[in-house]
Chain A
Amino acid sequence: MGQTIISKGRNIEEAINIGLEILKSTREEVLIEIIQKETKGILRIGSKPAIVKLTKTQERKKENKEELREFNSVHDIEEVIKNLDFNSHVSMTDEKQEIQKLCLQDELEGKVWVKNGKIFCKPSPLHYPTITVGRGVKLFKNNELVTGTTVVTETDQFDIKVEEEVTETKWNITIDRDKLNVILHIEPGMRKSFTIKDIEPDYHIELNAEEHIEIRNDLQYEQILQELETLNVVRGIDFNEIKNAVNTKKISSFIIARGIKPKEGKNGWIELKVNVDIQQMRPKLREDGTVDFRELKNIPTVRKGQVIAIVHPPVPGLPGMTVTNEPIPAQPTYPVKVQLGKGVTTVENGTKIVATETGRPYFEQKGMLVQVSIIEKFIHQGDVDIASGNIRFKGDVDILGNVEDGMSVEADGNITIFKNVNRANIISKQAIFIRQNVIGSQISSGKNNILISELVHLLSIIEEHIEKLILSIKQLMASSAFKVTDLKQNGLFPLIKLLLSHKFRVLVTTTKQYMEVSKKGNRLLEQSWLDLSEQFRLCFFAHVPNEWHSLEQLTILLANIRELVNKSQTEDNQNSYVELLYALNSTIYCSGDVAVLGQGCYNCKIHAGGSLKINGVVRGGEVYARLGATIKETGSETGVLTRIIVPSDQTIKIELAREGTVIQIGKVKYTFQKEQHFVEASLNEKEQIVFN
């Protein structure tokens, strides 16, 4: 059945017309019942309106029509009379109820409500109720889907449909790469249903549905077993976990089968039976911070026949098993490869390394390669001077006296000097220990030397500027007003000349410096350093164009510089170390750590490839420490310029920084204008120096 309304009018005709107006229907589409005929004061109760009930019946249009016609013509009078009769019999109480009902209906006027999942409404001529469709509900108005808000009239036909979402149980089984774990991932399915609640009458209602979620895990135990079978999983199946998976209500993963991991073996290794570590060779520090050289036992020695090390063979691993019952081999293990140097031999099938000479054991391991040898020691009683001549030795050297003016001591092993070094050269490929003072001398420890460190420093500046030079050239080439007419004839020659005349003047001075330094030390340098010098000359100082005046060649030059810098920096520094008490007007170069244990250094240049530790004062000069510097005191009361330099990722620690101290971290400098205690400086992310 369609909508039904009750309408009033001064007479039946009017009541019907008003009703039809509201329903927006024609007389043919409705069924009319006359509830009350109008009275014009005949019964002296005063006038009463005519009341009719109109029921919309769309489907039975034709029938309606016929019925109506019948009603209108034949039964008209009869009905009227009936109604009259009825009316005349209506008691007063009935009438009152009728009025109450009408009042109630008035309250509902312009409102809409939901009852038992259906929409009811009672629009008034001035207000039509509205419905907003909410979540989980589909509302069809006259068979059209409603989105958002719609106006409700009584002629509209509404259909409410609630949504129902059903998700299936999702699951999969994966085997990890090593075939050691079978993982079952399960997302239980669920049914989400909605029901419409009753809604009280209102001018506007929101049609919402209540959500009900029901979790359904329909994964079966057998399904899993079947899948495992198709995946060939036969080993280490965990039936408990499968049960848990079948019963789970949550999204989760279960390891339902496990293989056996191979047990890793161990590579061969060397067990040292003697102390070879250079770090432990330093003299003892007393509690008050001074050094006791009398307690020095810094050089380990082995006697003939002493076992230096035991060579352990590799321990093979145990193979594992995959879930598909395939064996997993363990990682192969390798023995150490021992390279025997001078003064050592192996016994008992190469499992023990034994010294055949007395001396200092030397041990170096790179990956699985081990080098062992005994370094011979030369002990020079007394001073090195004109009488003794210079000393050069393949092993360690001990000088019990001084090294005097203009003399030099060179060794492949450690050099220990028990007294002073005065205006002399000390060069060692390993460590240098000087028990007393160094004055006006050159000290160099490690495979590199001072010369190379200076060249590398220059190259880093040159590299930076050539990079910029290339950029500038490219920028010029891209400028619209720049012609390259002369490029064919002269290459970049005129352009490089132009750029060097002002913008890259630094390049001129630094490359000149490089050329001079490398020329001076050409006997000590490898060819590649000298080649680079020649390339600089051709590129920047030629008077006529040559093949170096092109972008490609400049790029090659840049690559050459970088290669050389890298090569020199990767040289190992594990055995180089310099230790001394006090230095004045000296240059100290070391690819490893540098320690100044006594009073400090005055006006010295120090380069430490490792860390730098100075227990005393640094007054004047310049120190560089690749792995950071720790210094007790720097600068002076009179403000002597003292530079402390470390790379950008390192820190500088100074207990007392006096005036004139300049610290440089990376490229950032800071100058102390007044005394400062307990300085610990490093760079922050914004490349600024910060003090902690």
Chain B
Amino acid sequence: MFSYELVQDGQSVTIYFKGDLDIEVTEIMEEIIQELQFFETIHINLSEVLFVDSTGIGLLINLVNTLKQENKHVMISGTQPEVEEVFKIIQLKEILGEEIFVK
């Protein structure tokens, strides 16, 4: 099952995604977008995401683009090497922008 955890630090927040980022996450993602409205800087930590599917990646793209439209600072970190491989094939870095991905 997918879950997430928010660790707040003033205006910035780190959201830990836990579990597979797949089609099941669709509804939870709505909730996440709502929750993240209140922060200016958002770190998305994917270190506990071991599997993704195309819908899941679509949701992630949607999340980042929505937040960026509201002029928020978004960063993605902790991507697992296997997931990184998938991102590479899809050229996710080029879609979202190189600067979003941090170590």
Interface of A toward B, CB cutoff 8 Å: 472, 475-476, 479-487, 489-490, 492, 494-495, 497-499, 501-503
Contact = CB atoms under 8 A, between A and B. Distances in A.
A639 to B, nearest CB: 34
Contacts of B56: 483, 486
A494 B82 contact: no
B7 interface: no
Contact of A485 (B24, B61, B91, B94): B24
Contacts of A483: 20, 22, 51-53, 56
Given A481-B83, A486-B54, A498 B90 contact: yes
Q: Which 10 A-B pairs have the closest CB atoms?
A: A481-B82, A495-B54, A483-B53, A486-B23, A494-B54, A486-B55, A502-B95, A503-B91, A481-B83, A483-B51
Contacts of A497: 54, 58
Given A476-B89, A485-B55, 10 more contacts: A476-B54, A479-B82, A481-B82, A483-B56, A486-B55, A497-B58, A499-B90, A501-B95, A502-B91, A502-B94
Q: Which of B54, B58, B82, B95: most chain A CB closer than 10 A?
A: B54
A495 B22 CA distance: 12
A476 B94 CA distance: 17
Q: Which of A472, A494, A497: most chain B CB closer than 10 A?
A: A494
Q: Which of A476, A482, A497, A502: most chain B CB closer than 10 A?
A: A482
Interface residues of B, number: 24
B86 interface: yes
Contacts of A495: 54
B80 interface: yes
Contacts of B80: 481
B26 to A, nearest CB: 10
Contacts of A489: 23
Contacts, number: 70
Given A479-B82, A481-B80, A494 B89 contact: no
Contacts of A480: 82, 85
A530 to B, nearest CB: 30
Interface string B40-83: 00000000001111111110010000000000000000001011
Contact of B86 (A476, A486, A487, A490): A476
Contacts of B20: 483, 485
25 contacts: A476-B54, A479-B82, A479-B85, A481-B50, A481-B52, A481-B82, A481-B85, A481-B86, A483-B53, A485-B22, A485-B53, A486-B23, A486-B54, A486-B55, A492-B54, A494-B53, A495-B54, A497-B58, A498-B58, A501-B61, A501-B95, A502-B91, A502-B94, A503-B91, A503-B94
A346 to B, nearest CB: 68
A441 to B, nearest CB: 44
Given A479-B85, A485-B53, A503 B23 contact: no
A475 B82 CA distance: 13
Contacts of B95: 501-502
B98 to A, nearest CB: 12
A472 B85 CA distance: 12
Contacts of A476: 54, 86, 89-90
Contacts of B24: 485
Contacts of A482: 51-53, 86
Nearest to B58: A494
Contacts of A486: 22-23, 53-56
Nearest to A473: B89
A268 to B, nearest CB: 62
B66 to A, nearest CB: 15
B85 A490 contact: no
A490 to B, nearest CB: 7
A476 to B, nearest CB: 5
Contacts of B90: 476, 498-499, 502-503
A481 B55 CA distance: 14
Nearest to B21: A483
Q: Which of B20, B24, B52: most chain A CB closer than 10 A?
A: B52
B51 A481 contact: yes
A486 B52 CA distance: 10
A472 B56 CA distance: 18
A480 B80 CA distance: 11
A609 to B, nearest CB: 38
B23 A479 contact: no
A471 to B, nearest CB: 10
A499 B86 CA distance: 11
A548 to B, nearest CB: 16
